[in-house]
């Protein structure tokens, strides 16, 4: 009965590879997010989707491509992985529009290590 789930939990891969991280929420929320947390614990938003529509697209390399097949899923595909992509990636969701007044519910995170 996990609210926001991510797979995989750990991802170790070589530079140059392409990988995907999946996220699903069963809360019925309309908005989903991807965040990146670096080694210094700084958490920065990457993307947000509202009902499958891209709302926020921060200054993220275009090697990162989010895809939302339906409002319960938001996947993150990363092409040509670089060392600097190593981080923990969190998915989150919230009610209603991409409004900052809404509480966000976070997944457990995916620790990506690029060798």
Residue 40 beta carbon to another protein: minimum distance, rounded to whole angstroms: 7
Q: Do residues 4 and 93 touch, judged by C-beta distance below 8 A?
A: yes
Contact present, 94 and 105 (Cβ < 8 Å) = yes
**Of residues 80 and 99, the one with the C-beta less far from another protein:** 99
* CB nearer another protein, residue 47 or residue 75: 47
Reading phi first (left if > 0) and then psi (alpha if -120 to 50, else beta), residue 96 is in left
Residues in touch with another protein (CB under 8 A): 4, 40-45, 48, 55-56, 90, 92, 97-101, 103-109
Count of C-beta atoms within a 10 Å radius of residue 109: 17
Q: Give min distance, CB of 100 to another protein, in A.
A: 3
Taking the least distance from each CB to another protein, the nearer of 33 and 71 is 33
């Amino acid at each position: 009965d996990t609210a926001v789930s991510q797979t995989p939990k750990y991802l170790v891969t070589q530079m140059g590879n392409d990988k995907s991280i999946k996220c699903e929420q069963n809360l019925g929320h309309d908005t989903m997010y991807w965040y990146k947390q670096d080694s210094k614990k700084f958490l920065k938003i990457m993307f947000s989707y509202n009902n499958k529509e891209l709302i926020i697209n921060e200054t993220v390399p275009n090697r990162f491509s989010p895809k939302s097949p339906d409002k319960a899923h938001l996947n993150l595909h990363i092409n040509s992985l670089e060392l600097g992509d190593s981080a923990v990636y969190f998915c989150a969701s919230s009610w209603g529009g991409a409004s900052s007044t809404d509480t966000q519910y976070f997944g457990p995170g995916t620790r990506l290590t690029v060798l």
